[in-house]
Amino acid sequence: MDFLVLAQAFEKIEATPSRLEITAIFSELLKSAPPDISGKLVYLSQGSIAPAFEGIDLGMGEKFVIGAIASAYGYSRQEIEKKFKNEGDLGLVAAGLAESKRQTSLSVSTLTVEHVYDAFLKITKQSGAGSQAAKIKILVELLNSASALEAKYIVRFPTGKLRMGLGDPTILDALSRVVANDKSKREEIERAYNLCSDLGFVAMNIMSGRDEFLKNMKLTPLKPIRPALAERENSAEAIFDRLGECAVDSKYDGLRMQVHKDRGIVEIYSRKLEKITAMFPDIVREVKSRPYDSLIFEGEALAYSEEEGKYFSFQQLMQRKRKHGIGEKEGELPLIVHAFDMLYIDGADLTSFPYIDRRRKLESAFGSATSRQGKIRPSEMIIARSADEIERFFAHQTRAGLEGIIAKDLSMPYTAGARKFAWIKLKKSYGDMVDTIDAVIVGFFKGKGDRARLDFGGILAGAYNKETGNIETLARIGSGFSEDEMSDMRGQLEKIIMPKKPENVVSEIVPDKWVAPEIVITIAYDEITESPMHTCARTEKGKGLALRFPRMAGMRADKSVFDATTSEEVRRMYALSKKGRA
């Protein structure tokens, strides 16, 4: 398939505000492509060349991309940098210069999707001395053969600025439309994706006509499963009314990790499904020592001092997530992993098993919750037969400094990638705060007064709408930051500034700078209220939901956009808070 066909589809998608139309455009693109490249189409459409868990970094710094544009089109770096400053988008700069080249290459060929994909794959494999020059050379060769439209999107790949709002929900709908001409296959396709976290792999199998693929999809070690998510209630009574007799698990404020073992290989994945194995050599050693050929289990990692009998904070724990000085931090911040679910063991996929059976397998592998042996220990859990028992366990856990509890339906299978009432969380309140929200930053405001010198005055953040794939605003946050934190956040946001509002952001408020919706933060607040300005869970009457007195409570580098609090969850929290005040 010619790459121009893909670039033309991207151009249509970028200009289309309707998710239904975007779905139709992408489904037609899939239908027109040879089945064996459908996976590559999906990866490229999401600005990558592989699923996130493979940890392949496509990124090139802007200065290197500017160097490639200069080499390909005969312009100076200074000229390109000036145009970039005016346009705010290197893709648009490359498109304009491709139409007015000052030099041409003797070697020009028609670009295909396969050619472009393979070139980017080759870029990711460059390392060591001379690697940057080699990457630039590969990019120059692509630009030499590219039309203006092709150059626009080729340049956006390595700079990480593709971002058309073509998220997982839209691609899943498009695949269902290919198979059934409607959304009727969406749930089945999403289940397969949830079990392997590889949308390109799913697309390739569907487009190749493998009819039994969806029905036969099973867990595979070293392919992480998308984590189950919990709904919430505001009381032990409400939980017991829903579940009756249930398991009640401790809710730890740690780093959720999914641990895989396949014979001698151990990999650890974060909640975002990033590979974080290298950061936790102590956990790898312990998993390797366990007498099982294959394992997949989930746990919450916390830094814990046995001498002091206390947990370190989440922010301290995140110091373990580094590339250098790992051995030093291993000694300073020793870990305990509180394992809470067993998903796979020695060839058996347990995700369809009832929770209570998975728990028994977990305890068989790692001992009881009271075990003091090793770094991997089952989470503290009880079987509650009344609301009073849930309340007592909740009080015990919060007094111990934990976040709260998660109640689990004893009979339910593991609901991969879904937020259902199979798991229900109950968290402690924070002073006058009802709760906290994990929100996605979509823009920031420049500083005024005392903050002018920092060029940072606050952020605009929103909730994730799972049905539409959009981010809907619910808070403008200007407090909770120290000066150092403001400076650090300004630096992070500077790297992801967008020239215009991202297509998947729904906002009436216009910040000074839009950013790609990638960074998740925790926001503390006093109350959820109706708002004519914010778009979260907006009703037909034009009122959305907003946070009253929002303040920054922390960064959540372990969470992706898809882990953020959803618009539906905010709506339910608002309803619960009104019920509590009634």
Cβ atoms within 10 A of the Cβ of 417, count? 17
| d(C-alpha 89, C-alpha 516), whole Å | 13
- Contact call for residues 438 and 521 (beta carbons, < 8 A): yes
Q: What is the DSSP string of 234-269?
A: SSHHHHHHHHSSEEEEEE--SEEEEEEEETTEEEEE
Map residue 531 onto helix, strand or coil: strand
Using only C-alpha atoms, the chain has a radius of gyration, in whole angstroms, of 25
Query: Which residue is listed with tokens 């989470």?
Result: 379
Q: What is the DSSP string of 153-220?
A: HHHHHHHT----S--HHHHHHHHHHHHHSSSTTHHHHHHHHHHH--HHHHHHHHHTT-TTHHHH---B
- Conformation bin of residue 24: beta by default, left when phi > 0, alpha when psi is -120 to 50: alpha
Contacts of 570 (CB under 8 A, 6+ apart): 437, 463, 474, 528, 536, 537, 545
| d(C-alpha 405, C-alpha 408), whole Å | 10
Map residue 460 onto helix, strand or coil: strand
Catalytic machinery residues: 251
Give me the sign of the Cα torsion angle 414, 416, 420, 424.
positive
Of 454, 462, 443, whose CA–CA distance to 486 is shortest? Answer: 454
Alpha carbons within 13 A on the beta-carbon side of 555: 16
Contacts of 437 (CB under 8 A, 6+ apart): 463, 474, 475, 522, 523, 525, 547, 565, 570
Strand (E) or helix (H) holding 339: strand 335-345
Longest dimension (CA), the chain: 79
| d(C-alpha 362, C-alpha 381), whole Å | 12
Written as six digits, the tokens of 363 are: 């305890």
Strand (E) or helix (H) holding 525: none
